[in-house]
Chains A and B, each alone.
Chain A
Amino acid sequence: MNVTILFTWNENGKAIFLTERNVLVKSYCSLSNTCSFQDCFQSCDMTNAAKGYLVDTTSNPSIVTLDGELSAGIGEYKIGKNVLLKAMGLGSCVGVVLSDVSTGICGIAHVLLPGASNNGETKYAETAIEKMLEDMIKLGARKSKISAKFAGGSQVFKHMNLEILKIGNRNARSVEETLINKNIPILAKDVGGDVGRNVIFNPVDGSMIVKYTKGEVLWL
């Protein structure tokens, strides 16, 4: 399938467009909370720029294409260069992004459990972050340039009769402690609350897009 991912920006905001066969199919826009258009495919400057680019790739200097997307399933991590990184449907899970802006190498982990594993399983926060960091360094990232952003760890249950379901804040705390221990600066975080999240990382400008399952979007 002919899928292209575009990132565009202007003085007001930034947006990512997922396109299929030269048609816009999905967007993440930093203006969507205040935008008067409900579906984002109405004509605004940024959609016009994206549509223009699909017709003529030289039309606009403020458009960058990404080389595809990678989605981390529950308990795994993905690393890449110039790709859109995603961790979708996070409830109590936490999406952790590490990125080295100087080389463009970045990674995302979909953390399921707090603490460390004794046999290298990446569903645990500490183990996932450690392994992802190692892999990124192997790929050429520089430890001193790596910074982190993370989001997730909510408690979606409105009525709860099982104590074990309260694992979200423990996950978030474990992620934060691990990053502090490893001296990785935390540039942004969005944790807790009672709504699930999708976390998307745009390597071009290093922004983490948090899309709440109930619609609201944050660019961090």
Chain B
Amino acid sequence: MIDLENLGEMELDVLKELGNIGAGHAATSLSQLLDKDVFISVPEVKVGEIKYIFNDFIPDIVAGVIIALQDLEENRSGYLYIMFPEESSRKIASNLFGLEELDEEMYESTIMEVGNILSSSFCDASADFMDIILLPSPPSFALDVPTAVVDSVVSQMARESNHIILFETALSSDSDIEIYFALLPESGLFDEIMKMMELL
């Protein structure tokens, strides 16, 4: 297993690039879905101890969608965590339906579906770029502060490691929609990425 604490510049760059390409594809999907221009921010890769890494997450309530990623042999590769700040998620949903008011059920399943579409394009991109197969699970949905949503996933990962890699990219559109993406890779996926790199 790779020691996450001692990642070099090169390794971080590859992770960043994976995040970039994945988020780029997701942005294209979002743009088609909303029929609007979508911008992506330069991704940030954070490697840190679990206890500190979530300190700087936004403190407001988000619609959080969590998708587990598997490889072809059904090994868990990691998790995608997509955060929609509440205002943005309402905008996206009402935009898609062309309605101002949506009932809660509709709203929730719409955001889950958007999460689904974004995660699929993210996974496609990483398959194209790195030849790594990532199969997304059906999404799980919660409305709460970002740490409360993600801590059950973190607890799963914490059984193996005290460190976590998180990368954050924000997608935004001219109508002030913001979406944050985080990929939490398990060590298996990480090993695969590093194997890929050695072949380059």
User: CA A90 – CA B181 in complex, angstroms?
Assistant: 21
Contact B158 A213 (CB under 8 A): no
Which of B140, B143, B150 lies in contact with A160, CB distance below 8 A? B140
Among the stretches B17-25, B35-43, B48-56, the one at the interface with A is B48-56
Interface centre among A74, A92, A167 (most CB of B within 10 A): A74
Contact B152 A165 (CB under 8 A): yes
Q: Which residues of B contact A79 (CB under 8 A)?
A: none
Contact A112 B158 (CB under 8 A): yes
Contact B147 A91 (CB under 8 A): yes
User: CA A76 – CA B139 in complex, angstroms?
Assistant: 30
A161 at the interface (CB under 8 A from B): yes
A91-B158 contact in complex given A74-B51, A168-B152, C-beta closer than 8 Å: no
B175 at the interface (CB under 8 A from A): no
User: CA A76 – CA B162 in complex, angstroms?
Assistant: 11
A88 at the interface (CB under 8 A from B): yes
Nearest-Cβ distance from residue A78 to partner chain B, whole angstroms: 11
B142 at the interface (CB under 8 A from A): yes
Nearest-Cβ distance from residue A112 to partner chain B, whole angstroms: 5
Chain A residues touching B, range = 20 to 34
Q: Which residues of B contact A154 (CB under 8 A)?
A: 148
A167-B142 contact in complex given A74-B51, A158-B108, C-beta closer than 8 Å: no
A156-B50 contact in complex given A161-B137, A162-B140, A167-B155, C-beta closer than 8 Å: no
Contact A92 B155 (CB under 8 A): yes
B153 at the interface (CB under 8 A from A): yes
Q: Which residues of A contact B109 (CB under 8 A)?
A: 159
Q: Which residues of A contact B66 (CB under 8 A)?
A: 157, 162, 165
Contact A159 B112 (CB under 8 A): yes
Q: Which residues of A contact B140 (CB under 8 A)?
A: 157, 159-162, 165
Q: Which residues of B contact A88 (CB under 8 A)?
A: 147
User: Which A residues lie at the B interface, using CB under 8 A?
Assistant: 73-76, 88-93, 110, 112-113, 121, 123, 154, 156-162, 164-168, 171, 195-197, 213-214
The 10 closest A-B pairs by CB, nearest first: A196-B148, A89-B147, A73-B51, A91-B148, A92-B152, A161-B138, A159-B141, A156-B142, A196-B144, A91-B151
